[in-house]
Amino acid sequence: MTPSADRSAAESLLAFWAEAGVDAMLLEAPVDRIAAGRLAPPQPPTRKGPAAAAAPPGAAPPRPEVSAAIAQAQALAAEAQGIEALAAAIAAFDGCPLKFEGAARQAVFHRGRSDAPVMLIGEGPGAEEDAQGQPFVGRAGKLLDKMLAAAGLSERVFITNTVFWRPPGNRTPSASEQLVCAPFLERAIALVKPKMLLLVGGASAKAMLKTEEGILSLRGRWFEWRSADGALELPALPTLHPAFLLKQPAAKKRAWLDLLSLTERLDRSDRPA
């Protein structure tokens, strides 16, 4: 096997375990954690600099520059009275560092119906999305479209992401990057008025549901999503990302079951009382 093939296989395996929520590994030799806990931990060197980046609820508050960017995003989002106005506000926004780090061309906001009953929220755009200006248009997007068509959802979805600029190297967007973009995403939800949310991938599900559970634990379970101000509340279903399904085809059955659960609930909500 060539070095590049070895690296590709390793990256695929790491991606699988990351999606599963695994964040630790076993050591070759046992460690007495009780004895180690009696020792005073070494004191880290004092460093001067900006505070740590924003973290999920229960951790440190956002650093000042992140808080300022969130406030600016909130103000711009509130002014948008339609989806196209919101798209223009996102394109003009300079508060997300991804705009200057990963994106080569443009903001990537949405595709699909602006009055769709389902809003599909992925993680972030990749190279193809950056080039075309629409989410989910690469290999993973083509698989997603096939799945949506098979489930009868092609004309019933509004598709977007938790961040609107491509992360460098297609890495997972950070919590602070998602927080900065969240006001625009919540405004999109308010404007589209979907009946439910489909959260595609671990980064999307964790950000929207404020949880650290892995996607393999979250998928297929219905949750209630609430906006930051508590004014909006919608049923939300996490599912596997199509990029993960390309690497693990055996998992397609679970993603298909998730789509069936969503369409069944959506059709039930459309029936007259």
pLDDT tens column, 116-168: 999 999 999 999 999 999 999 999 999 999 999 999 999 999 999 999 999 99
In 3D, which of 195, 202, 209 has the Cα closest to residue 264?
A: 195
Q: What is the pLDDT of residue 182?
A: 98
pLDDT at 40 over 90: no
Banded pLDDT at 51 (limits 50, 70, 90): very low
Cα-based torsion angle of the residue sequence 167, 168, 173, 176 in order, rounded to the nearest 10 degrees:
-100
Banded pLDDT at 81 (limits 50, 70, 90): very high
In 3D, which of 92, 269, 89 has the Cα closest to residue 188?
A: 89
Q: Dig out the tokens for 51 from the structure.
A: 């505070």
Q: What is the pLDDT of residue 19?
A: 60
pLDDT at 25 over 70: no
Q: Are 108 and 135 in contact (CB under 8 A)?
A: yes
In 3D, which of 205, 207, 210, 256 has the Cα closest to residue 20?
A: 205
**SS3 of 5, please?**
helix
pLDDT tens column, 196-214: 999 999 999 999 999 999 9
pLDDT at 234 over 50: yes
Question: Rounded to 5 degrees, what angle do the CA atoms 40, 43, 49 make?
Answer: 155
Average pLDDT along the chain: 86
Tell how far CA 17 is from the center of its chain: 17
- Where does the chain have alpha helices with state H? 3-19, 33-37, 64-79, 83-92, 98-101, 127-132, 139-150, 175-192, 202-209, 215-218, 242-247, 252-270
Whole-number Å distance between alpha carbons of 271 and 73: 37
In 3D, which of 124, 143, 146, 144 has the Cα closest to residue 135?
A: 124
| Residue the block writes with tokens 């990351």 | 18
| Residues facing 119 on adjacent strands | 158, 197
pLDDT at 265 over 60: yes
| Residues facing 160 on adjacent strands | 121
pLDDT at 22 over 80: no
Q: What is the pLDDT of residue 65?
A: 85
Domains of the chain: 62-270 (3.40.470.10)
The mean pLDDT of 228-236, rounded to a whole number, is: 94
Q: Dig out the tokens for 197 from the structure.
A: 């949310």
Crossing angle, helix 252-270 and helix 139-150, to 10 degrees?
50
Query: From start to end of 41-176, where are the E strands?
Result: 111-112, 118-122, 157-161
